[in-house]
Chains A and B, each alone.
Chain A
């Protein structure tokens, strides 16, 4: 590790100690600095100094400075707007301009590069709604859907509480493809965020007083359940292949993908009761159950890591590369191959924006861990 890397890492450790109000032992043990320099550093990181710094920072106008830079660097104004609009969809490989000398780097060339579309894009809001009649409706950005008691603007679908024939229950399905995510509000007011590669079966309306039941056929979903007290005490049940979650009004996340027999249930708030062909289990907030066939284990977890996906973030903590890649496979709709099996179980920490290009994420992993990769169409290969 270069001395500069060490300096940056040390800064990070000192910041961590200060935030936790602990002794910065990494600095005190470090051989990068003399004792008097260590003392100097700590004296300049006191609250008083940080406040002074904040006051100085106020005199620095980032926006103004950026627009000055923008006016001075060689970026045609039109190119900027192209950047803005194509940033999400098009991949802009500046690296390829390496081959153009400065003089050749004309406006025209630039557009050509910008227009190159990547095969791999981040996921978007999309889903397929299957009605009781079997009719399929594609939902996505720019396509709205309206029917009695239900409407969708293309990024979410809302069911109203209509009074219908209480004799029979009508079910709809919502299927989220790989590379998709969707939000649904059920007729009882329960909110459900569905992750990529997931399927939910739900009734189009509920009867107060009777149990409310939905089924996560497969995939991952975050439930914010409308309280039983608002529905004459009706419990809410979430079925998965071999687990029933009984809810009294609460927030939780369920992950039950088909590529693994394990079901993860994480409780954020409230109380849930898990049952099935295993010992009935009650979860408390902050706990996660891991159901593997007929064995259930409960442990406390960092809830933020489990539910961040619905906030547009991937948060990984001590997660094996293999598991991280499963998540990315679903979101970017790609296939990942490990030629180098040795790295599969290397663990990583990190928080990533779900809207960034896959290359940005892969470069971080590749650069910091010397793991080369290659992209071939929709396949990523770790060599």
Chain B
């Protein structure tokens, strides 16, 4: 129990799991992907160099999202400061709020789970689920892929069965799953 420092293996695993989505998350604030990458990298280096302690996966995520947000806002402020005083503070005021932050975290986290969950499915299942997310009905999927309605129903059942343990109460374990299946 209690807080602990990440081992290098854990650190790398966290990096692999969260680096891409954190870059996109930062990009929401600053709209510059290259700078976003630098910001996320700085945050990760700080975690290692300062040997920051975490209690659980959720604490890691909370720390990373918050740090990336703060650094992104700092960047925006410094840039605006340097470039011009003419832009009002209204824009930045809105994106500095907690609701904006939480909203973007939800979008980022949800997207990651969907992408990864679909990627763990067997190819045929994944194709069907992707079309289903797109809003296609079973009949439409059947026409699109040229397979029977029954096959689609069975494949969907298989998919939900496999996804169920991933999606129920165990977000903290998801990282491991993706590590071993990818």
Contacts and interface: CB of A to CB of B under 8 A. Distances in A.
Interface of A: 2-5, 7-16, 18-21, 32-34, 37, 40-41, 44-45, 47, 50, 53-54, 56-57, 59-60, 62, 65-66, 68-69, 72-75, 80, 83, 87, 92-95, 97-98, 302, 304-305, 312-313, 315-317, 349-353, 356, 363-364, 366-368, 370-373
Interface residues of B, number: 68
A368 B103 contact: no
Contacts of A305: 165
A44 B165 contact: no
Nearest to B114: A15
A57 B102 contact: no
Contacts of A349: 165, 168-170
Given A11-B113, A12-B110, A350-B173, 17 more contacts: A4-B61, A8-B109, A11-B105, A41-B103, A41-B110, A53-B24, A54-B115, A56-B27, A60-B24, A73-B48, A74-B49, A94-B8, A98-B51, A304-B162, A313-B180, A315-B165, A367-B56
Contacts, number: 191
A357 to B, nearest CB: 9
B4 A372 contact: no
B24 A5 contact: no
B19 interface: yes
B176 A356 contact: yes
* Dominant secondary structure at the B interface: helix
- Max chain A Cβ within 10 angstroms of own Cβ: one of B5, B135, B160: B5
6 contacts: A2-B58, A12-B110, A19-B117, A56-B24, A351-B165, A367-B1
Interface of B: 1, 4-9, 12, 15-16, 19-20, 23-24, 27, 33, 37, 41, 44-45, 48-49, 51, 55-56, 58, 61-62, 65, 99, 102-103, 105-107, 109-111, 113-115, 117-118, 129-130, 132-135, 159-173, 176-177, 179-180
B114 A50 contact: yes
Contacts of B118: 19
A14 B133 CA distance: 12
Which one of B15, B27, B173 has the greatest number of beta carbons of chain A within 10 Å?
B173
A interface: dominant SS? helix
Nearest to A70: B12
Given A7-B102, A66-B16, A92 B109 contact: no
B45 A9 contact: no
Contact of A69 (B4, B15, B58, B115): B15
A121 B38 CA distance: 38
B93 to A, nearest CB: 16
Contacts of B55: 367
Contacts of B41: 65, 68-69, 72
A19 B167 contact: yes
B126 to A, nearest CB: 11
B107 A44 contact: yes
A4 B58 contact: yes
| Nearest 8 CB-CB pairings of A with B | A11-B109, A15-B113, A16-B167, A4-B62, A367-B56, A47-B134, A372-B1, A11-B110
A104 to B, nearest CB: 13
Contact of A317 (B23, B133, B165): B165
A20 B160 contact: yes
